[in-house]
Amino acid sequence: MDTVPRRLIGDEPKEVSVLKLVDFFVIEDLFLRNRGKIQEIIMDISSRKKRAGQILKILKKMFPNAGCTLNHFTPFQLLIATILSAQCTDKRVNEVTPSLFSRFPTPHDFAAAPLTEIEDAIRSTGFYHNKAKNIKALCKILEDKYQGNVPGTMEELVTLPGVGRKTANVVLGNAFGIVSGFVVDTHVTRLSHRLGLSDQNTAEKIEDDLIQLFPRKEWVDMSHRLILLGRGNCSARKPKCDQCDLKGVCPKNI
């Protein structure tokens, strides 16, 4: 391939391929043609970052003691409670889990129990057929592979039946104190859109946006604050914008 010599300061002479030079000029041309759009993207990111900082400051005052609202004493209990919370309120889950964990205190107890018994015990949380099936299968894996313990990494947790990235983030952040990501549920999804923090439509992409906007040390508590806001003033059907402390920075009201 034809090459052209090029000397870099402080280096021995090097050769740069003509093809690489052509690639450089193509990229430069694309940049110049799209400079306006690129500047708009940079300005949008800067604006979101500034708004995120304002929102963080206000929500800290609104919810100074934000934390996980699923009652638990161990990582295992939180794992099961989080699975049960899918399409169910935390309040209902907290009503079910005391008797559930009294009846099935360990992964071994769940794994050995007839599926119908688990279904009956969690029936009021909804979707109990799938939840019971996943819990029983999950507990067998915990017994066989992890000596009855809940693994403490994202990579291991998401391989368990019924456990996605959201559930894994909940368990890691609240039971292990490991900041692995940003919990994105229906409340966080809705508020991310309303507050102009993300325009993405999948939980994974919304999480990617949020972790770029907030300091890592705030990810766990910030997700709790957004969830509490979503259950309160910023509900899905009738948000109480006039009563919300965020009305001065929320794009919906500006």
Q: Kindly report, residue by residue over 95-112, the tens digit of the pLDDT.
A: 999 999 999 999 999 999
Using the 3D structure, point to which of 148, 176, 204 is the last residue of a domain. 176
pLDDT digits (tens, 9 = 90+) for 111-131: 999 999 999 999 999 999 999
Using 50, 70 and 90 to split pLDDT, how confident is the model at 252? confident
Enclosing domain of residue 58: 3-62
Position 245, amino acid: D
Burial class of 208 by CB neighbour count within 10 A (0 to 12, 13 to 18, 19+): middle
pLDDT digits (tens, 9 = 90+) for 220-230: 999 999 999 99
Query: 2 an active-site residue?
Result: no
Together in a domain, 83 and 127: yes
Number of domains in the chain: 2
Q: How far from 165 is each of 10, 168, 199, 254, CA to CA, in Å?
A: 48, 5, 20, 33
Element (H, E) at 207: helix 203-213
How far is 67 from 136, CA to CA, in rounded Å? 28
| Of 7 and 125, the one with more pLDDT | 125
**Tokens 């990617």 — which residue?**
208
* Angle 40-206-42 from CA coordinates, rounded to 5°: 15
Structure tokens that stand for 103 in this block: 């009846």
Together in a domain, 107 and 141: yes
71 and 58 Cβ atoms separated by less than 8 Å: no
pTM: predicted TM-score of the whole model, two decimal places: 0.81
145, part of any domain? yes
Using 50, 70 and 90 to split pLDDT, how confident is the model at 76? very high
CATH code assigned at 84? 1.10.340.30
67, part of any domain? no
201, part of any domain? no
Catalytic residue (choose from 109, 133, 140, 185): 185
How far is 125 from 94, CA to CA, in rounded Å? 10
**Tokens 């509490």 — which residue?**
228
Query: 252 an active-site residue?
Result: no
Using the 3D structure, point to which of 19, 35, 62 is the last residue of a domain. 62
Dihedral over alpha carbons 137, 149, 158, 97 (to 10 degrees): 70
Reduced to 3 states, what is the DSSP secondary structure of residue 5?
strand
Together in a domain, 79 and 166: yes
Phi and psi at residue 142, to the nearest 5°: -60, -40
58 and 246 Cβ atoms separated by less than 8 Å: yes
Catalytic residue (choose from 136, 166, 209, 221): 166
- pLDDT score of 4: 46
How far is 47 from 50, CA to CA, in rounded Å? 5
Together in a domain, 58 and 90: no
Using the 3D structure, point to which of 144, 176, 208 is the last residue of a domain. 176
